[in-house]
Amino acid sequence: MALLGTLKGFGVTEIFQLISQQMKTGSLVLTSTKATVTINFENGVIVGLSSNTWERDPMADVLMKAGFLQEKDFKAALESAKKNSQPWYEILVSKGQLKRVFVERASNTVIRQTLLEIFQWPEGGYRFEDWEGEHESMLTCHIPTESAILDTLRIIDEWPTIKQKIPPVDYCPVTVIPITEEIVKHHELSEVDLHIYDLIDDKRTVERIVRESLEPPFEALSSLVRLMDLGLVEVFPQGASDVRDSTIARGKTIAGLKKAALYGAFVLCLAALAFSGQSRLLHQDLVPKVIVSHLEYQHKLAATFSAPGPGPSGTDTGSGGR
């Protein structure tokens, strides 16, 4: 199958869908005034991606900004790679200077960000050939094309709402409530949500958390906003420790008062029923299940304030206690 045309007549989404549905193997070259991006497909699955805008391996830039890679170590690994015909990151991983999970996350971030950009190109050209183009800078992956389409379109759709809630990047998020297994289940928190939560230490700024997470920026910011909306995290300007501490204390006090009021109202209702001679209603089977379930959840949540448990999630952020 040979495809050739402009993005005005046939958009990136339609091109990807056609390649996926027909399970084609080959290279798709997309061009615009911004860049030329090559995507390799195997049986309709994305297996590689490169861009002519990459002056060097983009994973290195992501890792450096996150603080997991030093410029001198990268250059030394490049020199060794030329002699040993081995990827620079494999050399650093073998020496224990870089964790493989960091490499994988950095690669995923670059690929996802590149896909997000090309899906928003308003114009340009495309060419698909039934063979895979080999590029030295090609990042390998294995991403189902339909999944890439849905994820990218979801981001484009949700971004306007998320953008309005993002705090200033130089503000510092702080945790307000310790995350327990009950909270994770109740709010259906994702691994990315827990990863972002684990990076919050009262010192890292929003920008630093996003970079060190090695998650695609949208996913990291979306999780931070979700944690804020749930009242698990609040964000304050750097140096505003007094305001931060008083706000957190006030939040805990209000939460405690709400729980106390709920218990008090329930006890009064039971007492009134018992006093009126309807004690049989005290039987648990006759108490609405929704009330019982809510009280059990509130009881467990209240326990976390009096006796905080171990770390929130157990998710391996790979931060090494940063």
Asked if 209 and 199 count as a contact pair (C-beta separation under 8 A), the reply is yes
Asked if 28 and 128 count as a contact pair (C-beta separation under 8 A), the reply is yes
**Would you state the pLDDT for residue 29?**
95
How many C-beta atoms surround the C-beta of residue 77 within 10 A? Answer: 22
From 85-94, 198-207, 288-297, the region with the lowest mean pLDDT: 288-297
Counting Cβ atoms within 10 Å, is residue 239 exposed (0-12), middle (13-18) or buried (19+)?
A: exposed
Q: How confident is the model at residue 66 (pLDDT cuts 50, 70, 90)?
A: very high
Closest CA to 140 of 61, 49, 37, 20: 49
pLDDT tens-digit map of 121-168: 989 999 998 876 666 689 999 999 999 999 999 999 999 999 999 999
Q: How confident is the model at residue 276 (pLDDT cuts 50, 70, 90)?
A: low
Per-residue CA distances from 291 to 128, 159, 260, 265, 268 (Å): 60, 37, 15, 12, 14
Q: Compute the average pLDDT of residues 102-109.
A: 97
Look at 113 and 246; give whichever has higher pLDDT: 113
Look at 258 and 144; give whichever has higher pLDDT: 144
Q: Give the start-to-end residue ranges of the domains of the chain.
A: 3-60+103-157, 166-322
